[in-house]
Chains A and B, each alone.
Chain A
Amino acid sequence: MNQIGSMPSWAIWAVLAFFILVMAGIIFIRSKRGKDNLHRGTTAFASPYTLWMIIFTVLPCLLIGYYAFTDSTGTFTLQNFAHFWDSNYAKNELYMQYGPEAAALIRRGTVNVDTLTYSLWMALLCTIICLILAYPTAMIMADRELKMSSAIVVLFVVPMWMNFLLRTIAWMSILEDQGLINQLLSALGMPKAQLMYNNNAVLLGMVYNFLPFMVFPIYTVLGKMDYKLHEAAQDLGANSFQTFIRVTAPLSLPGVISGITMVFMPSVTTFFIPRILGGGNTMMFGDLIESKFLTEGDWNVGSALSLIMMVLILISLGILRKADPEGEGGGLM
């Protein structure tokens, strides 16, 4: 049985009825408005989208906000955020009740904060590596004379048809002790290398998964750049390097910013990759939130952690947006 089939029939009818109602509403609104007032009428067309946004974006955010500021009984509290700052918070609360001797054992746990800084650091590294790898790739793709773009696009897109879990697990069979690389090394008579279960393996997995999101925005910007501008720069006395620094690079900035956004945001929230390639030695903030929700069942603290991350991401988005006010890169912003 597939998903649609297992849905109760009334739900399908409800969705259908909703759709018809919205369409009827749009037609009604448009017919009431004068033809000269076309622009205002069109806003009604956005209403299904608005509803979609409310159900799938605004509502979850509000729910997270609600959980983050309440305890398990539903009363208002800020203690969930104290949990972020002090991951021993619950234990320490307990110690407090057993008098001064027990209170002497109170120590702040910094797991959560450490995980966040580690995640940010890893995301930063991942973004920088992606940028370094992606920019030349995008330049090769955008080069008219090389005519490589379609080949490289296929190389990047085909793996994306596979689930990202599978792709990550595939790296295991390459990197593990009996994996491809080590077999090759031993065949060549060289000592085996410990490739898995460390930071580098996690970083590799992240870069591998997020690289296309850096390549494509930069390629888009470079590809539609007017090549006459390069000729103009050369004409005015710029050699290839100067042309790149003074024309290509600044003009591709929107794509770079869009790429940074699209790589940095998901890398901060990465989970699963550290568990597979890091072997549980490392934990990222995404894993932490996941374990709060799924392992500990503490939705309130989990929501607080999510909220903190959301705020951090919004701040970084705001900074990036300053650099690309028009959103020319066509990214997520």
Chain B
Amino acid sequence: MIEETHLIDLENISKEYDGTTVLANMNLYIRKREFVTLLGPSGCGKTTTLRIIGGFEYPSTGRVLFESKDITNTPPYRRRVNTVFQKYALFPHLNVYDNIAFGLKLKKLPKKEIEEKVNAMLELVNLKGYGKRGVDALSGGQQQRIAIARALVNEPEVLLLDEPLGALDLKLRKEMQLELKNMQQRLGITFIYVTHDQEEALTMSDTIVVMKDGRIQQIGDPKKIYDEPKNAFVANFIGESNILEGVMKKDELVNFAGHDFVCVDYDFEKDEPVDVVIRPEDILLVGEDAGQLIGTVKSVLFKGVHYEMMIDDGQFTWKVHSTAMQPQGSRVGLSIIPFNIHIMHKPAPIPEKEAEK
């Protein structure tokens, strides 16, 4: 179970490279045994955050606390943190056994103990008997497991994973996702996981931190992030969305796409412009007479579980997911229940000076 004590605190962390802001005033805490995922498009600062926690980069401003002790300037080899690198970074001159034993040998543990631990690790990652092999002779998935074993054998408090599954094919990736999650729960280690794959984040995490342009957009558990995205960016990045501009008429009444809709949101100013987000699977296809909106099916794509239809109501082209197919060119009614209409404040405009960068 996740404990309430903070293991790592990032306080007002900023990072600049040659005048470019990579991280802007970031605050984040990570609890013991938590599986935290940093999610965002490339260049959003997620890897930089991980590297600051690992000790490979130092923040321009701010502090990193580990169990309330300042470790901002502690070098990586003195942190109780281990990393699984993006392309594994296994030592090519060492075999599997020596790769895993690397950290233990540095700690000068007795040979017998090293052997026991390494073998236990090999068993944990299902690579028993691979110790003598060279690392270049292994497949991507096997190298991945070795990289994880090499980090975990040191019994770190925190394991940092930098897009560890990026180089694997889809099927293997799904398997490894489950395996990693299992491992994390069994060993009770805190995982900080960096990915740009929203599905991966939703599958594995206890907490997702959505980032963009060096700023945290939203922190929350997967369900909350998916169901209640804080802004249009999060909504768009996590899953697929229809995003429209709307106006809040009054509490629980919003106008978009030329119609008034009943919704469940309140505490907005009167006539405040807002972003409206509606998930494609939340739009119901009904008869022409029963719909709140009426549109023409422009295109139909078969996606396996469902069909993806683009439906034009004359003002906006809706992306609709449904298991029932409506033929192209047909007229359909669209219906949205109030609970599925997500309304968010427009993001505060980025100050001029920063927008230039």
Which residues on A are within 8 Å of B, measured CB to CB?
A: 226, 228-229, 231-239, 242, 246-247, 250-251
Contacts and interface: CB of A to CB of B under 8 A. Distances in A.
A247 B94 CA distance: 9
Contacts of A242: 106
Contacts of A237: 77, 103, 106-107, 154
Given A228-B85, A229-B89, A236 B54 contact: no
27 contacts: A226-B89, A228-B85, A228-B87, A229-B91, A231-B56, A231-B83, A231-B85, A232-B83, A232-B85, A232-B90, A232-B91, A233-B91, A233-B102, A234-B75, A234-B76, A235-B76, A235-B81, A235-B83, A236-B77, A236-B82, A236-B106, A237-B77, A237-B106, A237-B154, A246-B102, A247-B91, A247-B93
A116 to B, nearest CB: 36
A239 B77 contact: yes
Nearest to B83: A235
A228 B47 CA distance: 14
Interface in B55-105: 55-56, 75-77, 81-83, 85-87, 89-93, 102-103
Contacts of A228: 85-87, 89
B196 interface: no
Contacts of B75: 234, 239
B150 interface: yes
Interface in B165-198: none
A246 B81 CA distance: 20
Nearest to A254: B93
A239 B76 CA distance: 9
A232 to B, nearest CB: 4
Q: Give the one of B75, B90, B106, B151 with max A CB within 10 A.
A: B106
Contact of A238 (B55, B77, B82, B151): B77
Nearest to B81: A235
Nearest to A247: B91
Contacts of B90: 232
A217 B90 CA distance: 23
Given A228-B85, A231-B56, A234-B76, A251 B92 contact: yes
B77 A234 contact: yes
Interface residues of B, number: 24
B231 to A, nearest CB: 34
A319 B272 CA distance: 81
**Which 3 A-B pairs have CB atoms at the shortest separation, nearest pair first?**
A236-B103, A228-B89, A232-B89
B326 to A, nearest CB: 51
A236 B101 CA distance: 10
Contacts of A246: 102, 106
B83 A250 contact: no
A280 to B, nearest CB: 47
A136 B106 CA distance: 24
A194 B219 CA distance: 76
B93 A251 contact: yes
Contacts of A234: 55-56, 75-77
Contacts of A251: 91-93
Contact of B102 (A231, A236, A239): A236
Q: Give the one of A232, A233, A247, A251 with max B CB within 10 A.
A: A232
A138 B92 CA distance: 21
B77 A235 contact: yes
Contacts of B82: 235-236
A325 to B, nearest CB: 13
Contacts of A233: 91, 102
Contacts of B81: 235
Contact of B154 (A231, A236, A250): A236
Contacts of B106: 236-238, 242, 246
Contacts of B83: 231-232, 235
Contacts of B154: 236-237
